[in-house]
Amino acid sequence: MPKNQLDQETSPYLLQHADNPVHWHAWGSEALSEAKATGKPILLSVGYAACHWCHVMAHESFEDPETARWMNDLFVNIKVDREERPDIDQLYMAALHQLGEQGGWPLTMFLTPAGEPFWGGTYFPPTARYGRPGFVDVLKEVSRLFHEEPDKIEQNREALTQRLSHAAASAGQLSPDIVPAIAGKLVEMFDPVNGGLKGPPKFPQGPILDLIWRTGLATGETRYFDTVEHTLSRIARGGIYDHLGGGFARYSVDERWLVPHFEKMLYDNAQLIDLIATAWLRSGNPLFRTRIEETVAWLEREMIAKGGAFATSLDADSEGEEGRFYVWDKADIDTLLREDAAFFCAAYDVTLGGNFEGRTNLNRLNDPFPLNEEDETRLAKARTVLFEARAPRIRPDRDDKILADWNGMMIAALARTAVTFDHPDWLNRAVNAYRFVSDSMSRAGRLGHAYRDGKMTWPGFATDYAAMATAALALSDATGQRQYLDDAITFADLLETWHLSDDGTYRLAASDAEDVIIRMRSGVDETTPNPNGTAANLLIRLYHRTGETRFIERADRLLSAFASDAAQNPVGHASLLSALSLRTQGTQIVIIGDPDDSGTKALISAANCVPDPNRTLVVLSPEAELPEHHPATGKIKIDGRATAYVCRGETCSLPITDPAHVQKYVLSPQQQSA
């Protein structure tokens, strides 16, 4: 008789369900074979370790023996960690969207024994409430329809499979004018008081903020910068930020950034570190620098996995309650802080009634930052007292698996931020993580996707190659070492070899993937930038660095293939539109000089302090020559002096020897040409 088989897995999410009375299988040929042999439909449940509502459904249904009996009798039950198998998640989430549902996790899908979707939903309560049917009622009715009305099942199956299989790109041409047009509309959709897109819930929306920022650079209009900086300021002061331990939660359930779902995800923090560092370069806002330093400290303290790479997430729940680890009673704060309690409570919104289910989630939404130096020092001491008092609490679980793509995002963010703030220890941390992923998570010259306890999910996905290539390029910029540039080229070529689709886009799963019925392609950003958008940005930068035309041809192919999709859904394709901005507005800062010369170092430092994500840094020794097809070839002179040129398209600036002039030439809409 089948039994729960998840105790053989390494995914922390799957292991959370290893003691369920449900006869869970992990995704794979064995589970699919059993479904075909028994003729039972498949119940697919997809979630992740830090997901609050996944825990709720588990406690209510999957731990209940009676519910489990119905599941075991009627279905072959498969549990998937969406972070470990994003290809499975993307396929069946797309099927749910085709059914007209918004989507989310837990994802609950019903499949034929061959793995083809025919119906589904997200969270189902144990009994009918709030317009949602009870889970056992759903199980019984789906099973009845499958066996007694197969025509209805077949109709749904055929329609869904057809739509998913024929989701091909429609080639076209994107006008550069679409970027400011869309960004202008986006700014109007932003909350002028609270920042972020209007209304709850509020997500950081990293790709959208990045697109708006780049539009500010292209147009010179400060409203774009102001929109991003205001949003980042509200996030940094809100309850979505852990004011004692550092790090950002995934999103806020309200419109003020006050109350989050408390899980902390590696990818959110990577994107926010990068965005906030760029905003700090422009504004010098001390809040931004403080949040970056505190968040990197959290990363180093709590998120380093065995081997030196970064863990995936921290759970939202502890002791069965969401946010329990993070929230406070006023009486406890009064006791701990004594004479400083009233001052701290006024600054951090601590009241008797609380702001989260009768308790307080710390925030500074109503308090200016910074106060004077004396007051901020006083608050910092109080935070230390509370941080130490919080430490003995039962901590949220950590998902310590290592994901190549999420690590790539954090490695790139740390490498860039380390240079911005002159933190060589941060750069060393990025290098250590990079080495683990590139060395320990590879097989037969290819990347794996997830790693834990010596086991690896392999082969990797398009996201892994795009993110790790971007990380390698960031390390190349930060260290000046050629090997990282070579690695970026290798990863880009592996992406082309194993993930290229007939329409010129990249599919998430590799061409030799054996256990997924449809290899999905999409240009739509999710909680992370889409791999096609990330790849397009990467390929343009590789062209700027190397002059190899194959890279710009691939980037143009991607932008053309997704032109129709992006025109119809520009907000969802923000990372691809950012690539279009880089393609049309990108800047190459070419610096010629001895890398050990103080003048060269000063120019490099100045280039790295330009708040422009559309810039690419190219450093050449005095003896070097630009490749034949490099955009700056023939437009600059290499004469041995430490000299910089700022190039856009076919135009380069006059020689720059004063580091103070580098930023002026990059950010000025008008340049003198050579």
Per-residue model confidence as pLDDT tens digits over 102-152:
888 999 999 999 999 999 999 999 998 867 889 999 999 999 999 999 999
CA–CA distance, 151 with 75 (Å, rounded to integer): 19
Q: Kindly report the average pLDDT of the chain as a whole number.
A: 92
pLDDT band at 640 (very low <50, low <70, confident <90, very high): low
CA–CA distance, 27 with 81 (Å, rounded to integer): 9
Q: Where are the alpha helices (DSSP H) in 350-456?
A: 373-390, 404-420, 424-440
Residue 658 confidence (pLDDT) above 50: yes
Handedness of CA 101, 103, 109, 111 (dihedral sign): positive
Query: For 615-628, what is each residue's pLDDT tens digit?
Result: 999 888 887 777 77
**Is-cis flag, bond preceding 370, omega within 30?**
yes
Please tell me the pTM assigned to this model: 0.93
Q: How far is CA 467 from CA 91, 207, 534, in A?
A: 21, 14, 7
Handedness of CA 617, 622, 623, 627 (dihedral sign): positive
CA–CA distance, 26 with 30 (Å, rounded to integer): 9
Average pLDDT of span 1-21: 91
Fold classification of 178-317+399-585 (topology level): Glycosyltransferase (1.50.10)
Residue the block writes with tokens 């060395």: 439
- Specify the range with the lowest mean pLDDT, choosing from 197-201, 229-233, 394-398, 655-659: 655-659
Residue 670 confidence (pLDDT) above 50: no
Instruction: Provide the total of helices (H) and of strands (E) in the chain, helices listed first.
Output: 25, 21
- Specify the range with the lowest mean pLDDT, choosing from 13-17, 125-129, 167-171, 541-545: 167-171
DSSP 466-481: HHHHHHHHHHHHHH--
Which of 63, 71, 75, 76 lies closest to 30 in space, CA to CA? 76
CA–CA distance, 255 with 261 (Å, rounded to integer): 13
Is 238:247 a contact under the CB 8 Å cutoff? no
Torsion of CA 174, 177, 183, 186, to 10 degrees: -80
Strands 42-47 and 76-81: parallel
**For 6-165, which CATH superfamily applies?**
Glutaredoxin (3.40.30.10)
DSSP 47-87: E-TT-HHHHHHIIIIIT-HHHHHHHHHH-EEEEEETTT-HH
Task: Indicate the helix (H) or strand (E) that contains 603.
Answer: helix 598-608
Instruction: Write down the pLDDT at residue 394.
Output: 97
Is 118:157 a contact under the CB 8 Å cutoff? yes
pLDDT band at 650 (very low <50, low <70, confident <90, very high): confident
Task: Indicate the helix (H) or strand (E) that contains 107.
Answer: strand 107-111
Strand partners, 590: 618, 645
Handedness of CA 58, 59, 61, 66 (dihedral sign): positive
Query: For 536-572, what is each residue's pLDDT tens digit?
Result: 999 999 999 998 999 999 999 999 999 999 988 999 9
Instruction: Write down the pLDDT at residue 671.
Output: 40
DSSP state of 256: S
pLDDT band at 234 (very low <50, low <70, confident <90, very high): very high
DSSP 316-360: SEETTEETTTT-B-HHHHHHHHGGGHHHHHHHTT--SS-SBTTBB
CA–CA distance, 222 with 667 (Å, rounded to integer): 12
Residue 460 confidence (pLDDT) above 80: yes
pLDDT band at 597 (very low <50, low <70, confident <90, very high): confident
Residue 648 confidence (pLDDT) above 70: yes
Cite the beta strand spans of 539-649 per DSSP E: 587-592, 615-620, 643-648
Q: Give the max Cα distance, the chain.
A: 82
Return the higher-pLDDT residue of 674 and 589: 589
CA–CA distance, 489 with 501 (Å, rounded to integer): 19
Return the higher-pLDDT residue of 392 and 635: 392
DSSP state of 654: P
Tokens of 472: 């390698």
- Specify the range with the lowest mean pLDDT, choosing from 413-427, 437-451, 637-651: 637-651
Strands 24-26 and 76-81: parallel
CA–CA distance, 559 with 536 (Å, rounded to integer): 7
CA–CA distance, 323 with 260 (Å, rounded to integer): 9
CA–CA distance, 222 with 229 (Å, rounded to integer): 10
pLDDT band at 68 (very low <50, low <70, confident <90, very high): very high
- Specify the range with the lowest mean pLDDT, choosing from 195-199, 291-295, 356-360, 590-594: 590-594
Residue 669 confidence (pLDDT) above 50: no
- Specify the range with the lowest mean pLDDT, choosing from 477-481, 568-572, 632-636: 632-636
- What backbone phi and psi angles, to 5 degrees, belong to 646? -110, 120
Tokens of 53: 């509502």
Which of 499, 493, 462, 507 lies closest to 168 in space, CA to CA? 507
CA–CA distance, 7 with 16 (Å, rounded to integer): 9
